[in-house]
Amino acid sequence: MRALLVVNTFATSTSVALRDVITAALSSELELDVIQTTGREHAIAIGSRAGHEGYELVITLGGDGTINEVANGVLSAGAPAPLLAALPGGNANVFTRNMGYPNEPVDATAYLLNAIREGKRTRVGVGELVTPTVNRYFLFNAGMGVDAAVLARMHERRTSGKKASDLTYGWLAARELMHWVNRKHPALSIRGHLAHFALIVNLAPWSYVGNHALDPAPHAEHQTALDLYAPTKMGVGALARFARAIFTGADLSADPEVLTLHDQPEIELSSQTPLWVQVDGEPLVQATTATLRHIPNALTILG
């Protein structure tokens, strides 16, 4: 099988040494080429060319942003679409773990090689986020409001050379909720309801802290369309209840202070003021409107 390994050495847990170890292991089973990304969105261009250049499989070694970019390139290019696989090399590695891969790169490589031998493949649906200036596919989640704003602040820190960590994400989220969000007046409009922010989940869990899953929409899976979680209240008691539910994977569909939607083919969001939007952990732009759609059976994942 002719394969391309796309490596992002800027990702949190990826290094040149790790690249070399994984390249050697994959080359035992694959006709492998390796390319290293040079910056943000480079992997989109790589993904868009891969199928037309004869690659049957594209593997990423990096974070969630790397596999998101490759998937966007593959989807934008149309047929012939190669198989995809993602090895963990970032901080959270949500998509890799959600697809059942181990979160340790060498173990994940062994899992991938076994999937190649057994021909194990999974068809997955994706989401699509559209704003007036951006059109982007996502694999496991998107957001508008607080979570996207936190990711934008983290991106600024990483651009300045600071490392990402679960502790830093938690600190930035607390600051955003306490100091930057108007907790009395929700800004986001969703089907006649006002909410403070919206999390849209294509595949649960939404994210991870260490080895612990964060699951505001535990019923989301690739065989269904999009799920939404949007708090309508932001008092201290409500925040504590929401945080506990996210950590335990509790079903909040009956909570009167949370708007939840399940298996939705399309969701419209709007705000009177621009809010950050994100896909798969990557902040994109600030926007006043966003449309999210589900595209079933869009990609084939090895594993």
pTM for the whole structure: 0.91
How many residues are recorded in the chain? 303
Among 95-99, 129-133, 151-155, 234-238, the least confident range: 234-238
Listed residues 74, 98, 119: the one ending a domain: 119
Q: Looking at the structure, do residues 75 and 197 belong to the same domain, yes or no?
A: no
pLDDT of the residue at 131: 98
* One-letter amino acid of 16: V
CATH number for the domain spanning 73: value is 3.40.50.10330
> What is the mean predicted confidence (pLDDT) over 101-121?
97
Residue 288 lies in a domain: yes
pLDDT of the residue at 240: 80
Chain mean pLDDT for the chain: 91
Asked whether 286 and 274 are in contact (CB, 8 A), the reply is yes
Q: Looking at the structure, do residues 23 and 103 belong to the same domain, yes or no?
A: yes
The phi and psi torsions of 207 (rounded to 5 degrees) equal -160, -175
Listed residues 86, 119, 152: the one ending a domain: 119
Q: Looking at the structure, do residues 156 and 101 belong to the same domain, yes or no?
A: no
| Helix (H/G/I), strand (E/B), else coil: 108 | helix
* CA 179 vs CA 171, 172, 176, 196, 241: distances in Å: 12, 10, 6, 14, 20
User: Is cis: bond before 283, omega within 30 of 0?
Assistant: no
Asked whether 166 and 210 are in contact (CB, 8 A), the reply is yes
CATH number for the domain spanning 286: value is 2.60.200.40
Q: 102 lies in which domain range?
A: 2-119
Residue with tokens 């076994």: 114
Residue 217 lies in a domain: yes
DSSP structure class, residue 280: T
Asked whether 138 and 284 are in contact (CB, 8 A), the reply is no
More confident residue, 220 or 246: 220
Residue 302 lies in a domain: no
More confident residue, 233 or 141: 141
- At residue 183 the predicted structure's pLDDT band, cuts being 50, 70 and 90, is low
Q: Looking at the structure, do residues 237 and 186 belong to the same domain, yes or no?
A: yes
* CA 219 vs CA 35, 76, 166: distances in Å: 37, 28, 24
> What is the mean predicted confidence (pLDDT) over 179-197?
84
The pair of structure tokens assigned to 29 is 């089973």
Q: Looking at the structure, do residues 153 and 264 belong to the same domain, yes or no?
A: yes
Residue 133 has pLDDT above 80, yes or no: yes
Q: Looking at the structure, do residues 150 and 60 belong to the same domain, yes or no?
A: no
> What is the mean predicted confidence (pLDDT) over 254-275?
94
Residue 219 has pLDDT above 90, yes or no: no
pLDDT of the residue at 97: 96
- Rg of the chain (C-alpha set): 19
- At residue 244 the predicted structure's pLDDT band, cuts being 50, 70 and 90, is confident
β-bridge pairing 57-62 and 31-36: unpaired
Among 22-26, 46-50, 209-213, 262-266, the least confident range: 209-213
Q: Looking at the structure, do residues 136 and 228 belong to the same domain, yes or no?
A: yes
Listed residues 89, 119, 149: the one ending a domain: 119
Which tens digits make up the pLDDT trace of 8-54? 988 777 888 899 999 999 999 999 999 999 998 999 999 999 999 99
Residue with tokens 């369309």: 225
The pair of structure tokens assigned to 50 is 């891969």
Residues ≥6 apart with Cβ < 8 Å to 178: none
Distance linking the first and last C-alpha atoms of the chain = 15
Q: Looking at the structure, do residues 13 and 134 belong to the same domain, yes or no?
A: no
User: How many Cβ atoms from other residues are within 10 Å of residue 103's Cβ?
Assistant: 15
pLDDT of the residue at 164: 65
- At residue 152 the predicted structure's pLDDT band, cuts being 50, 70 and 90, is confident
Asked whether 108 and 80 are in contact (CB, 8 A), the reply is no
The pair of structure tokens assigned to 216 is 């505001």
Beta strands, E only, 215-252: 226-231
Number of domains observed in the structure of the chain: 2
Residue 147 lies in a domain: yes
Residue 300 lies in a domain: no
Q: Looking at the structure, do residues 171 and 266 belong to the same domain, yes or no?
A: yes
Residue 277 has pLDDT above 90, yes or no: yes
Residue 256 lies in a domain: yes
* CA 123 to chain CA mean position, Å: 17
